[in-house]
Amino acid sequence: MITIQGKGVSAGVGVGPLYYYRRATTEIKRYTVEDTGAEWHRFKGAQTGAVEQLGQLAEQARAEAGDEAAMLFETHQMMAEDLDYEEAIEDRITNQKMNAEAAVADTAEQFAEMFAAMDDSYMQARAADVKDVSQRILSILCGVVQGGIASDVPVLLAADDLAPSETIQLDKTKILGFITAGGSGSSHTAILARTMGIPAIVGVGDALKPEYEGRQAIADGSTGALVVDPDDDTRARLLKKREEQQRLQRLLETLKGQTNVTKDGKTIRIYCNIGSPEDVHAVQVNDGGGIGLFRSEFLYLNSSTFPTEDEQYAAYKQVLSDMDGKEVIIRTLDIGADKQIGYFDLPKEDNPAMGMRALRLCLTRPEIFRTQLRALFRASAYGKLGIMFPMVTSVWEVREAKKLCEEVKRDLKHEGIPYSEDVQIGIMIETPAAAVNSDRLAKEVDFFSIGTNDLTQYTLACDRQNNDLGRFYDPHHPAVLRLIKLVVDNAHKNGIWAGICGELGADLALTETFLAMGLDELSVTPRAVLPLRNAVRMTDTRESAERLLAELDADYTAR
């Protein structure tokens, strides 16, 4: 028996033979062309074909995995037609007389290196995207048909990594699980695997030997363990675990339409975090009660220039309309730190996590902020909107932001443009300063939403992007939990509600704790709604309240 440890990124247990993904190779021939016009025409034909293929893949992904998965391919469509990308290829063909295949290959390498060198993890991930898009164009130019699975039985699919187009085109009836040498929890393979409910393990490195192909294995997507040639006891244990997971999933499906009420009658709102209008479908399918965090910055990240007021208005209006009267809380622009955008021309910072980001950027560049606020208030006429400001540390910041809101509303009224007067204004509690000062901040707003990712980072002085810190980045640390309780208490003393929109909201080990604290709302990824509802319905806060206080006062043993 051989056990290989990777990182589990999609829960579930897959059992079957290991099979290595067969990727068709494209041999790039290089030669000088005389008729550059004809060569450019060849490229344009392949580009058009790639865009059409990506459109078909988007529809397939939407049908199989929902709108979030489809958006990956729609983004690739835009990348295939990106002007900078296209102009770089045109220069190589027209001025350097390269053949189309060589021009595309060299441009792909140039752009991938550029993205990989960026500090922003989101932009670094675009390196794989530009390679995938370019490979599709190259395959069309070379007449190559992509490979896949030549197996008569379902398999555990192993690969160095998988591009989204490769993943979505696979025959899912033959996939028992994914195992990749590279990748991360935010890779496209991980995202698609979670969306489709397929077990997945990434980051196994070179421990997965080619000679293991065809041997029986079990992949545990929860623990990240891949067991090759399992013994009888291990097989029995993991098969029992798979049966329990399947039973739980069937149980969770019965909770759709049920209330989020504890055994002792306390109700909590379970909302969803989304990043685009297309994600609303996942909220509806998973029975989310509303949207607790719409990350509006993705409108900026997916654009090559500042999105206009009308473009933002259309996106916000669509989400509010599609949610049909359910609450939608939209976070204002949160650019900076790990999300950098070139056209903002932000100066290089030694410590961007503590630099010019989020509300600080908006207050410093009010012309950008005002455009977004106008779009938000215009859209408020179509649903129940809440607006929240990120990265707050001081009362004056909130007052200045609220002042801009009032100015925008006054302008809209003067222009005869309708908007709702019933828009809740809230802030994210992400800094120790905001948490400690929450008694004063609560007098300025209608609600708090606690961003536990950054609150943990700043409280523990641990960079959450640094995987080497391991156990030092501990969201369960009593300092973090005490700050959350302080925020909730101060919110309720001042008559406002408090929720969590960070990843900790979906941590079932803390659900009882959060309910005992009195949190009013938990906003999580759509797929976490039903497991969280189940945990809420199994909790009796009368039993957990006293235990919570004892735990927060107890000595803490380092993990």
Catalytic residues: 188, 501
Beta bridge partners of residue 336, listed in sequence order:
339
- Note the helical H segments in 461-510: 478-493
Residues 6+ apart with CB under 8 A from 498: 447, 448, 449, 450, 487, 488, 491, 492, 518, 519, 520, 521
Cα atoms found within 13 Å of the Cα of residue 248, Cβ hemisphere only: 14
Q: How far is CA 60 from CA 53, 139, 464, in A?
A: 11, 20, 35
**Cβ 330 vs Cβ 294: under 8 Å:** yes
Rounded to whole angstroms, how far apart are CA atoms 545 and 549?
A: 7
Q: Is 195 left (phi over 0), alpha (psi -120 to 50) or beta?
A: alpha
Structure tokens at 73: 């391919």
Structure tokens at 496: 């406002």
3-state secondary structure of 526: helix
The pair phi, psi for residue 194, each rounded to 5°, is: -65, -40
Question: What are the strands of the beta sheet with 200-202, ordered from one edge?
Answer: 2-5, 225-228, 216-220, 13-20, 155-159, 175-180, 200-202, 7-10
**What angle separates helix 83-94 from helix 100-116, to the nearest 10 degrees?**
140
Residues 6+ apart with CB under 8 A from 549: none
Tell me what percent of the chain is helix, strand and coil, each rounded to the nearest 5: 55, 15, 30
- Note the helical H segments in 181-279: 188-196, 232-253
Pairing mode, if any, of strands 521-524 and 384-389? Answer: unpaired
Own/partner contacts of 405-414, CB < 8 Å, gap of 24 or more, are 405/373, 405/377, 407/370, 408/370, 408/373, 408/374, 408/377, 409/377, 411/374, 412/374, 412/377, 412/378
Tell me which DSSP letter residue 44 carries: H
- The three-point CA angle 221-475-188 to 5° equals 40
SS3 sequence of 254-308:
CCCCCCCECCCCCECEEEEEECCHHHHHHHHHCCCCCEEEEECCHHHHCCCCCCC
